[in-house]
Structure 1
Amino acid sequence: MKLLLSLMMLSSSVLAASRPVSLDVGGGTVYGTELTPDGVSGKVPVVLLHSGSGPTDRDGNNKLLPGPNDSLKMVAEGLARQGIASVRYDKRAIASSALPVWKEENLRLDDYVGDAAAWLRKLRADGRFSRVVMAGHSEGAQIAAEACAQGGADACVLIAGAGHPLDEILRDQLKEQLPPALLGESDDILASLKQGKTVDRVPPPLMALYRPDVQPYLISTFQHDPRKAIAALKIPVLILQGTSDLQVPQDEAKALSTAAPGAKLVIVQGMNHLLKIVGDDQALQQKSYASPDLPVAPQLIDALSTFVKTP
């Protein structure tokens, strides 16, 4: 019985080869991991995975969270089991790509878009791959939508991506969190940044959000509308969203879908922002933010794999 079980497990999985990869961009080098399925002959499709905002690394882990969750690493492993290669990387200034040349005050969203486009061009030139797809998570979805157009991707995937510009999202979120006086100051700061103007005087309670070093990045990000980016794409698009996502509500996915009626929209029941199935279990929701043992949603892997393999 044990032998039979072992054989069944081997037959349902594909071993994968992992190797470090890197790309020279913008005066420095970004580092990542390539995962390719073993036992598959001929060319295979490849997915470029991009993480979300802030100090989120190639595996989906963020030092601001209680512990690792390995969400994007699990997505890469799930794709490998389906015979699909992947590349995931630490964006500039994060984890292994944290070089002195890239300081916070010098970062722009356009830099991340350009880096991703360069990765896509590199993958397209690699004769091992039959199809090049980019999948971005959270802020990475916005980056993917724009990089796919610049880098010549064959298809684009937006996972838990916002459907409105960041300044609009921040304004709506802060309405529920700030007292009226502080909310007024926040609105004034947002209005200035939206106009491309930095703000010298930031109230201490808002310093973490609007600190001087991050203002140039916010200014650059506020100029991007994910609805316009996805509407401009001339390639197949998949929008993936979970019903238990506390960071990005389903309405954001619907806004993206409305902007691009030809895109395929898949709603995964019970999936949260870290791509784990938690349902309405608040204890499990909290645990997922520091649980590398909790797997990503199999429905996500199925939908993503099917889309990647479909010409």
Structure 2
Amino acid sequence: MKPIIKYIIVLFTIVSFGQDINFTTQNLSINKHIDGTLLMPNKLNATTLAILIADSGPTDRDGNQNFQKNNVLKKLAEGLSNQNIATFRYDKRIVKQIRKGNVDPNISFVDFVNDAIAVIDYFKSQNSYSKIIIIGHGQGSLVGLVASKVNVDQFISLAGSGKSIDNVIIDQIAQMDPALIKDTKLAFESLKKGQLTKDYPQALSGIFSSDVQPFIMSWMQYNPQELIKNLEIPTLIINGTKDLQVPVSEAELLKNASPDATFKLISNMNHVLFIIDGKELENSKSYNESFRTISSELITELITFIRN
């Protein structure tokens, strides 16, 4: 290809993509724990803000981890902001700690809740948006449920579990090795009483190691069904039918607990919000395929709920 032709093609590509961007970007530090990105629609009448809360693990503001890059939260934020809804997404506090090489061994689930509340309070105090929405993805759904008691106008659970984390783990173990269920339940019973335990199946040492138990203990105290039942704001529950991590039955538990909530299943959408036409191998590989686009139906459903 001749250099001048190649240059024209590259320039045309940049211009074409630029026409699809209807927002400006601002990086913000909410406090010493929270750094994030605010997308502000270019239209002057953008009065709604959606705060995106990430899934489990050391997940950054774009929805990525070290060995998992799909940009799911970045794509979600851009999809909403292109439709005149401001968005803020942020790194989980452990991401910043890892980058600085100073991970807090006492980090708890409550810290994630407090971070979400700090973000909500920050934007509420700015008085820039008349409507604040929480969109929690995966574990972020539970974080958002706890944080949405005040100063939030709508809540969206995106691939959120309907069970507490101890019951999620027990269900997974039942599928892997039913012989471990009894000892696993006994270990969780100790944690429920606030007591660390050394009596657990050694095959599950990754879950019950002494440094992980306090975090699990703080996480398992929250029951998503109880929380969503008592949430007094408009609620949307969305799940994909090809979610390998959170089956449709989990979303149905949330819906049963909150009959007034809007409920939507998106055919063939997986946990990272991609449409999967193939089987499990394609599904698993997609977690690290950032070239994919997220479900357009998902964006449509979110926009419809938010505007109504």
Structure 1 length-normalised TM:
0.88
For the Cα contact (< 8 Å) 1:22–1:32, is it kept in 2?
yes
Q: Work out the CA distance in 1 between the residues paired with 2:170 and 2:255.
A: 22
Paired position in structure 1 for 2:217: 219
CA drift of 1:10 comes to: 7.8
Q: Work out the CA distance in 1 between the residues paired with 2:19 and 2:29.
A: 31
Paired position in structure 1 for 2:22: 15
For the Cα contact (< 8 Å) 1:68–1:289, is it kept in 2?
yes
Of stretches 69-78 and 88-97 in structure 1, the one that deviates more from structure 2 is 88-97
For the Cα contact (< 8 Å) 1:90–1:97, is it kept in 2?
no
For the Cα contact (< 8 Å) 1:92–1:102, is it kept in 2?
no
Q: What one-letter code is carried by the residue in structure 1 that aligns with 2:222? A: H
Paired position in structure 2 for 1:174: 173
Paired position in structure 2 for 1:50: 53
Q: Does 1:295 align with 2:282?
A: no
Paired position in structure 1 for 2:231: 233
CA drift of 1:148 comes to: 0.9
Q: What one-letter code is carried by the residue in structure 1 that aligns with 2:65? A: N
Q: Does 1:142 align with 2:142?
A: yes
For residues 22-67 of structure 1, the C-alpha deviation after alignment (integer angstroms, 9 at most, x for no partner) is: 122xxx42111111122x013431100000111122111122x4x3
Q: What one-letter code is carried by the residue in structure 1 that aligns with 2:196? A: T
CA drift of 1:163 comes to: 0.6
Q: Work out the CA distance in 2 between the residues paired with 1:263 and 1:12.
A: 36
Paired position in structure 1 for 2:72: 71
CA drift of 1:96 comes to: 6.5
Out of 217, 239, 242, the position equivalent to 2:240 is: 242
Unaligned residue ranges in structure 1 (runs of 5+):
none
Q: Work out the CA distance in 2 between the residues paired with 1:101 and 1:115.
A: 18
CA drift of 1:202 comes to: 4.8
Paired position in structure 1 for 2:266: 268
For the Cα contact (< 8 Å) 1:47–1:134, is it kept in 2?
yes
Out of 11, 16, 36, the position equivalent to 1:32 is: 36
Q: Work out the CA distance in 2 between the residues paired with 1:288 and 1:101.
A: 31
Paired position in structure 2 for 1:123: 123
Of stretches 182-191 and 70-79 in structure 1, the one that deviates more from structure 2 is 182-191
For residue 37 of structure 2, give the secondary structure of its aligned residue in structure 1. strand
CA shift in 2, pair 1:84/1:96, >3 Å: farther
CA shift in 2, pair 1:243/1:56, >3 Å: same
For residues 271-296 of structure 1, the C-alpha deviation after alignment (integer angstroms, 9 at most, x for no partner) is: 00111100443332122111001111
What is the alpha-carbon root mean square deviation over aligned residues?
A: 2.4
Q: What one-letter code is carried by the residue in structure 2 that aligns with 1:155? A: Q
Paired position in structure 2 for 1:112: 112
For residue 149 of structure 2, give the secondary structure of its aligned residue in structure 1. helix
Q: Work out the CA distance in 2 between the residues paired with 1:33 and 1:205.
A: 40
CA drift of 1:215 comes to: 0.7
Paired position in structure 2 for 1:305: 303
Residues 65-104 of structure 1: matches in 2 within 5 Å? 65=67, 67-95=68-96, 103-104=104-105
For the Cα contact (< 8 Å) 2:46–2:85, is it kept in 1?
no
CA drift of 1:107 comes to: 1.8
CA drift of 1:309 comes to: 2.1
For the Cα contact (< 8 Å) 1:138–1:160, is it kept in 2?
yes
Q: What one-letter code is carried by the residue in structure 1 that aligns with 2:237? A: I
CA drift of 1:102 comes to: 5.2
For residue 288 of structure 2, give the secondary structure of its aligned residue in structure 1. coil
Q: What one-letter code is carried by the residue in structure 2 that aligns with 1:109? A: F
Paired positions, count: 297
